[in-house]
Structure 1
Amino acid sequence: MMTKQKGVTLIEMLIVVAIIGVISAIAYPSYQSYVLKGHRTQAMGDMVKIQLALEGDYAKTSGGYEAMPLVSEINNNDTCSFCDIDTSKYSLSISNASTNSYTIIAKPKFQANNDTCLINDLTLNQNSTGTPASCW
């Protein structure tokens, strides 16, 4: 009488490993894409918060954007006190601040060659015009 052995053969184990490898190869790049979009969305949200603060202060004082404390805080500290941004992912700055205009810049601090929105810096100006337009 033959006894039936219980267990997993090497072939079955290799098939399972191959299936896990294929699933991982498909899922990981998609996961990375969503993480990058999440960081970009957070940076954009903080840029809009900065814009709202600048416009609110401008409406109160009407002394021009360049004299606002928020501009020097962001340019000197690379972040703002009320923002949620991860400073290891993006750095914030305000350039071209003058009496009637400004440009908020979010510069990525990491490389992501497969994300076209990270090739250039994200910008937002006083007219609520964000660039690159395809990323907004």
Structure 2
Amino acid sequence: MENPVGINRGYTLIELLVVMMIIGILTAIAFPAYNSYVRTANRSDAHITIQNVAVLQERWMAQFNRYTDNVSDLLGSGVTSSAEGHYTLKVVHSQLANGADCAAAATPASPNRRQYTIIATPLSTSQNADPECTCIFMTNVGFRGSTGSRTDPADCWTSLCDFGLSLKPLKTAEELSTDYVRLDAALTNNMEDDKSQEDNVSEIIKALTKLKRKTIAVPVENPNALSAFWRTQVDYVQGFFVQQPKPDMDYDFSMDE
């Protein structure tokens, strides 16, 4: 007997099994892969914030002739989290090594205030604890490390150095998943005196920005070059920090603590 008009038929057992199979695939493969991708992408929040804190530490050193182990001194009163809120931050007057217990890291009783380690620990709420990179850190001498289940601790930091010397550097940047790109000195030497060189660097940085890469310029000793770097919109400039201007020109160049 045919179904009366207007009466809907139910789903067949095969259709239900197909739906359940799709849900099983999503649960077993797609969701974990997506969560892993999100955690990896969120690590850039730690990288960028650590770099910013390092810059602020150098300013603090220039003003007070020592580093601070209080994150709020650098980021503002009560601020102890990264820019996007995926990590908690702390600074200790000691230098960590790979495999160190970040949770137990603390400033010693008699600290060396001319050294520090910036530590970023993932929040369980937004970063699902990130078991591969349970903490990401950087010392005042630029050593970058991490703890977690990754075989190589450096995997929690990804960067492309000496960029710009290959035949197709942008192709390399497209194919390599990195957080930072450090420009080779050959690209930026004497840039303040060569407008065409500045324009070339600007185009490279624009292309890297579209690829969502943060750019770093090599150490800059000539302050006259800073304006050229600013015009290129590079994200970070490694260089030598000076004390902030004072109206009375009363600068402190002593080496006392």
**Could you list the per-position Cα deviations for residues 51-106 of structure 1 after superposition, in whole angstroms to 9, with x for gaps in the alignment?**
11112343x4361113x8756466x83616xx5141xx422111007442111111
- Aligned residue number for residue 94 of structure 1: 91
- 2:133 aligned counterpart, secondary structure: helix
Is residue 31 of structure 1 aligned with residue 30 of structure 2?
Answer: no
Does the aligned pair in 2 maintain the 1:33–1:115 contact within 8 Å?
no
Does the aligned pair in 1 maintain the 2:56–2:74 contact within 8 Å?
no
Aligned partner (choices 141, 157, 177) of residue 127 of structure 1: 141
Structure 1 unaligned spans of 5+: none
- Aligned residue number for residue 117 of structure 1: 133
Structure 2 unaligned spans of 5+: 95-111, 147-153, 158-257
- Aligned residue number for residue 79 of structure 1: 80
CA RMSD of superposed structures (Å): 3.4
Aligned partner (choices 63, 66, 73) of residue 64 of structure 1: 66
Deviation of the 1:27 alpha carbon:
0.4
- Between the aligned residues of both structures, percent identity stands at 29
Does the aligned pair in 2 maintain the 1:46–1:84 contact within 8 Å?
yes
* Cα distance change of structure 1 residues 46 and 21 upon mapping to structure 2, 3 Å threshold: same
Does the aligned pair in 2 maintain the 1:73–1:79 contact within 8 Å?
no
Give the number of the structure whose residues are more often helix, by fraction: 1
TM score, norm. by length of structure 1? 0.70
* Cα distance change of structure 1 residues 122 and 113 upon mapping to structure 2, 3 Å threshold: closer
**Aligned mates of 1:50, 1:114 — CA distance in 2:** 22
**Aligned mates of 1:104, 1:113 — CA distance in 2:** 18
**Aligned mates of 1:71, 1:12 — CA distance in 2:** 58
Aligned partner (choices 42, 49, 55) of residue 46 of structure 1: 49
- 1:77 aligned counterpart, secondary structure: coil
**Aligned mates of 2:36, 2:70 — CA distance in 1:** 36
**Aligned mates of 1:79, 1:42 — CA distance in 2:** 13
**Aligned mates of 1:48, 1:114 — CA distance in 2:** 20
Does the aligned pair in 2 maintain the 1:95–1:103 contact within 8 Å?
yes
**Aligned mates of 1:40, 1:115 — CA distance in 2:** 12
Does the aligned pair in 1 maintain the 2:67–2:115 contact within 8 Å?
yes
What residue identity is the alignment partner of 1:79? Answer: T
Does the aligned pair in 2 maintain the 1:93–1:106 contact within 8 Å?
yes
Deviation of the 1:26 alpha carbon:
1.0
**Aligned mates of 1:70, 1:115 — CA distance in 2:** 24
